[in-house]
Structure formats: C-alpha cells, structure tokens
Structure 1
Amino acid sequence: MSGLLEPDGPVEMVILGRARDLGGFEVRRVLPFAQRRMVGPFIFLDQMGPVDFAASAGLDVRAHPHIGLSTVTYLFDGELTHRDSLGTEQVIRPGDVNWMTAGSGIAHSERTPAALRPGGTRLYGIQSWVALPAAVEERTPHFAHHGKTALPVVEGEGLRVRLIAGALYGARSPVATASDLFHADVAMEPGARLDIPADWIERAAYLVSGAVTIEGQAFEAGQMMVLKPDARIMVVAIATSRLMLLGGEPLEGPRYIWWNFVSSSKDRLETAKADWRGGRFGAVPGESDPLPLPE
C-alpha cells in the first residue's frame, strides 16, 4: 500500500510507507511525504527490513555524504558496522542508538559485519534523519553511540517504552539533541493502552508491527499516524504491536532536501554537491569506492 489517508478524530493524517529499492535492499519509506514533509524536526524515516540475507551476503551501503542533519540508526534485529570520515568505527546492535550529526559535512558507510556473513544474517530496524536548527546547521560533525543499557526504559501494564531521545513519561535519554524532540520504541501486548502526551506541537506514531486503535479507528503495520496538535491520544493494542513515537517542536523555517543533503538554503545544497564531486568531505577509512553523486 502507498499514499495518504485522512481519517476523522485526533489523527490528522495517515501516511502509508512506500517500498523503495536501494540497490537490491528494499526499505519502506515513510518520510518525507508529498503532503507532509516533516514531523517536528524529523525529515526522513525508513523502515529497514525485516530481511534475511543468504550466506556471505549482507547490507553494503558505500561511503556517502550528509550535511545539515543528524542520522539516527536503531535496530530491532541484526548488526551494522558504521564507519565515518571522523575515523569512527562502531558496531550497532539491537536496542543501541547511533546518532551521527553531519553539520557542515560528514561521510559514512554502513555494512553488515564480516563476522556475521558466513552463516547468513537478518536485518530489521529504523533509520531517521533529524534536521538541525539553522543556527547550528554548520556545526562541527560529531558521532555518538549509546548502548542499549544506557537508554531509559519505562514499563506499564503490557507496555515497555525505550526512550531513544528526548524526555517522555518521566524519563530522559542521554542522547544529546540540537532541538526539542522525542523519539521512543514502544512494545505493546494485546489490550495495552498508551497515552501519548500533547507536550509537543507535532507528534506521530509509526506502527512497525501489529495492530492498534485510536478512538476506535483501526490502524495496521506500515502506517504512520500524524496526530493533531493538543489532541489527547490513547493508543490501544489489539495485537502484539511495536510503535515508534517521534516528533517535537517545528523548526524556524522550511528545509530543503536533495539526496543525502538537508539545509535551510538551496544554495548550500549546490555547494554540498560540488564538495562531494571534488572529494572535499574527507575519506572514510576502509572504504575505497564511494557512492557517486546522482545524475
């Protein structure tokens, strides 16, 4: 399924994830969407997998550039090795967070670790991009890894919420952010109820798996429910379900996106293109075949 639904009640719109082939690896793209470019500072969201790789295969995303954003990688299953032009090499596992702030420019790659390839492996997770406020778009690039045990977990009746970033339900994530936002991974058992507070102007819930209702309206896996401002939201699980909550305060102005670049300035996107063509982002150690600029 793909496209947009406009239900009544506290849900402003429903965005249906669209399949995208990234060179033999399929993702479900949710943001950006034609009728809804951002939710708070979140400007991009992909569901990766679930996919089972055959023996010797795996994900191989060659070195590529970013500006003006933070990439957020969060896995449910499998592992990835992150390498970047700062010299970072970091394996991410389920429940960990990789938060890479591109700022003025960074290049990175993501690959299935060599040790996992001989027996085949599985990959399943979410990657999102958070656009930076204009005042810090050109900040010095930075990479931060936070292990699973460092992230706070809030539990309730049939509920388990792991806070990826921001503050929610009395807990605060150690992940440093450049703007007011929230991001969480929610596991729900059938019959569990989740109250999503109206502390931010823009909020959304992406249903990774299962089925839920909001004010009696049913929603299914692969749908992002964009919530109305100030509306009280009560999510009820009608099956074992997993939700990604995200949102925050909107940025001070529009953002332009081209390939892997995000900026408040269209001219800055052109500069980033020229810099990648000219090899001015810096090399990623261990990578010899970077992705070319799209034509």
Structure 2
Amino acid sequence: MTCASKSLPNFTDCTFDGRYELTKMLGSGYYGVVYKAVDLRADPESDSRLRAIKIIKKEGRTPAELENIRREVTLHGFVSDHPSVVTVHDNIEDDKYFYIILEYIPGGDLFDQINGKQLYINNDGLLRSAFLSLIDAVEACHDLKIAHRDLKPENVLTTPDGSKVFLADFGLATTKRVSDEFGAGTSIYMAPECFNSTAGPYCTRTADIWALGVILANMISSRNPWQKAIWKDKDYTRYVNDHNYLYEMMPISKEAHAVLQRIFTINPLRRISLPKLRKAIVNLTTFFRPVDE
C-alpha cells in the first residue's frame, strides 16, 4: 500500500474554502491525509479556532467506495456532539476531494500514550478516567444504533495528559445490529465471532465490547493478550483452555482479571453489557497487581 501523502499535493500553507489555513500535516494513511488547520473566521485568541482537516482523494475510487466515505461522515456526525467523540464541524466535497473538518485534539492517539509513553502503567486514576470516557463514547454510539467495528488505540485520540479520550475514525461503522461481513476490523481487537463464518451472523455491538477489553488489557500492561482470537493463535487457545491465563501472563489485579473475563466471554450473548462494564470499572479498586497478590 502507498500512503496517500505520496499521491496528493502538499497542502501546507494553503487556505481552503476561504476559511481554513492548513499549517501542518498530522498524519497520512492509505485513504487520506490529515492536516492541522486554523479557522480564520474564529476568535484569534480562542483555542477553538484550531481544526483537523481530513482530505481524501476521489480519483480511482468506485462509486460504492465514495458512498462508503459519505456514510462514514454521516454516521460520525450523528454521534459527534458527544463529549468523548471527535466533533465533525463540517464536510465539503468537490470533484477531486472530500474535506472533513474535525475538532483538533492536541494529545495524539491512545496508541502512543499506551506504548510510546506507557502513560497508564500503575496510574489507576488516569486509566480509569480515560477508559470510562471511551466506554461512554461507545455507549453513545450504541444508543444511536451505531457499532464502530474498528475500536483500537490508533482510532482514539486523547488530551495531552491522557485523562480523556475521543473516539474517531468511523470508516467501518454500521447501523446493522447483526452482520455477516467477516474479517472487518483490526484482527487483534476483533471478537472470535467476527472470524467464524460457520457460526453465522454476529452482533456488531457485542463485538465492540470485546474490542474494549483488548484496549483495556493494552492500557494496563502495554501488551496484547493475543494476535487473533482464533484457534491457531496459541495465546488465545491457552486463554480458552485456562481462564486464569491472562492473570498469569499480565501484571493485572484479580479485580481487573475478573472484569476482563466478563468481557472475553466466548459466547457473545453472555458478554458483559456496557452499563455493567462501566459500573465494574468505577468500583474496581486497582487495575494493577499489588505486591502481595
């Protein structure tokens, strides 16, 4: 795959729509680039004048792919008023590009906070605050009958101190409660039913809850419990055969282990609900294994 930045012009220092001055490229993926921008019509003294603008090239895309981008923006927009979801301020398209004007979040993504800075290690208060805001974002989506389907740290932005998170990137989001589209998402965070076509359609929202469990394990330990929740993955197989495996493998408390077990229930019908998960996180004493445990 080629990063989009190699096939797009450099928009730095350009002014878009007579309003947004693009000052710096923040990132690039296969589908588009994201720039930091300044809203020239906003109060010059206000932090709210900063924006992130995602630019997606239309050339080479099928009509179905173009409609998928419009669907992503629409579904994101439905929930973007929630305080733990990145706000969609506007979206514009011309003959060549989509321009999605987003809230600018200055802290980077959750992946860097977890793995680069290891910000949450042995910090119960910070981890609890961040994870609760992520639960709230996902619950807001589900309340509007939207499943995200690609929950992972790279798709979650944070405040600089990591205490609050903002859900982003709704490219795989769906309003379908039940799906027969297998393999959609990022494999580490996908629930087992998302791989197993022989078991029939799966619930997209309970699959989101499984992904939250993997993110929680990441935040506690800076490690992944497995690479794929399939039988060929030796770590996943060990977990299925021995539900104490995660406690033995990761530096987690017994309380955190109990929560993860309720999330990583193989039968999605028995998986913990988001309200119960939120309550469990609020009541949990510590995520980390005490010295005497």
Q: Where is the helix percentage greater, Structure 1 or Structure 2?
A: 2
Larger radius of gyration: 2
Q: What is the TM-score of this pair, normalised by structure 1?
A: 0.27
Q: Which has the higher contact order (CA 8 A, sep 6+)?
A: 1
Q: Where is the strand percentage greater, Structure 1 or Structure 2?
A: 1
Q: What is the TM-score of this pair, normalised by structure 2?
A: 0.27
